[in-house]
A and B are shown apart, each in its own frame.
Chain A
Amino acid sequence: MSAFVRAAWAVFWKDLLVERRAKEGANALAFFAILLLFLFYFALGPDSDRIRAALPGLLWLAFILAGVLGLGRAFALERENDCVDGLILAPADKAAIYLGKLAGTTALMVAMEVVFVVATGIFYNLDIWAAVPRLLLVAVAGTIGFAAVGTLFAAMTAHLRAREVLLPVLLLPLAVPVLLAAVKLSELALAGEGWGAAWPWWQLLLGFDVVFVVAGLLTFEFVLEA
């Protein structure tokens, strides 16, 4: 295994291990997801057709809000004891650190998304199970794009006093193409449409994933050192 892969894996492993032990992020996300399920239910009522029509937007609204919380948490961890200085001083390639942080954030978000989709199906009594594999693919691809740009901005705002406000303000406008494609693909998956109809949206989503990940790999060092 190369030093780059080892460093990325170490950051990923460290983030997941700390999260598993501290449980702060997971608990906050779980509580937040349950709260959203209740709120959506009260807003939309028991009409399952209405819920089903709104579901793609609701899912991604939940994913985004939870994702912003998760991203903030990922770098709050690095602020404790000035661990971010330890990352800066490490001779490791900073792109490897970025990749590890991105993988850690994506893994936590996807885990939350799986739980949220399953809870939504059960709580609203919706027959969405046939669409779950495709929804999962969309969730992973959408989350990678969202977390790619989010990790960069979370690192950028980590030292700022107004970081909780600035992170969503900077992140959400830039993540619009990813979110548009992800919502549309979720809608198509839930409607059981074929892959042909979804392909242009997949191209958009995967294209932005590649752009955001490459931009993150190339610029993370400057963001971290700034």
Chain B
Amino acid sequence: MIQAHGLIKLYGMHAALRGVSFEVPAGQILTVLGHNGSGKTTLVRLLATLARPTAGRGQIAGHDLVAGRDQVRRVVALVGHSTHLYDDLTARENLTFAEVLAGHRPDPKRIEAALGRVGLDDGQAGARVRALSSGLRRRVALARAILREPRVLLLDEAFSGLDHDSTKRLEDYLHAFKAGGGAAIVVTHSLGRALAIADRVAILAGGRIAAETARASLTEEALQRLYLAATEASA
């Protein structure tokens, strides 16, 4: 479902990615770990079609990231560092707006269902985003992604700022999502979180995948050793 072949991204003279290749089949989640500046967010931006690769190519659901970016955007949902929410609209209005821009007629029932799925009550859904805490804003961003019913989900630090209940809800959603045949890439700094949701774990270091392994063979201690070895080797 998600394929990357030698993705390179240069910003001027700085190489953010130096030839990243991997594959995530349908029904699987790849978690990506790495230090700050290792290229995780750049990778997500390339896969979301927010940036173009300098070299290499990638495909999502059979569509090329560059030539087929309009088709890619129809099947991908991104929850990144920024929420992409309008502070002066309510949570419900933000979702309605996103629904129309996705080419659908806004369906209040679907919108309420998405808001309910992330645990937002009626008062929170009707409040302006400006008045919500950062954790609640992140939940609204997740609700917008869920509303899209994507085939591919890209989560960049989507767990940060979430309380225990929201984290559990997101994990449950991810399990249901992959059971339904979706594929996801989850960028996180938490090794425990990586193990809780992943089918495969990749460690990015210096713009390259320094290690990639199946989750089944890993304990948290083993992952910690692998992470240290991978990041130190590239330093």
Contact = CB atoms under 8 A, between A and B. Distances in A.
Interface residue range, chain A: 20 to 34
Nearest to B128: A21
B82 to A, nearest CB: 4
Contacts of A95: none
Contacts, number: 72
A85 B88 contact: no
Interface residues of B, number: 27
A10 interface: yes
B182 to A, nearest CB: 17
Given A18-B88, A81-B82, A85-B82, A91 B50 contact: no
Given A17-B88, A18-B89, A87 B82 contact: no
A21 B87 CA distance: 10
A209 B151 CA distance: 42
A85 B50 contact: yes
B89 A7 contact: no
A17 to B, nearest CB: 7
A77 B130 CA distance: 13
Residue of A11, A77, A85 ringed by the most chain B CB atoms within 10 A = A85
Contacts of A88: 50
A83 interface: yes
A73 to B, nearest CB: 13
Interface string B167-196: 000000000000000000000000000000
A88 B84 CA distance: 11
Nearest to A17: B89
Interface of B: 48-50, 70, 73-74, 76, 78, 80, 82-89, 93, 96-98, 100-103, 105, 128
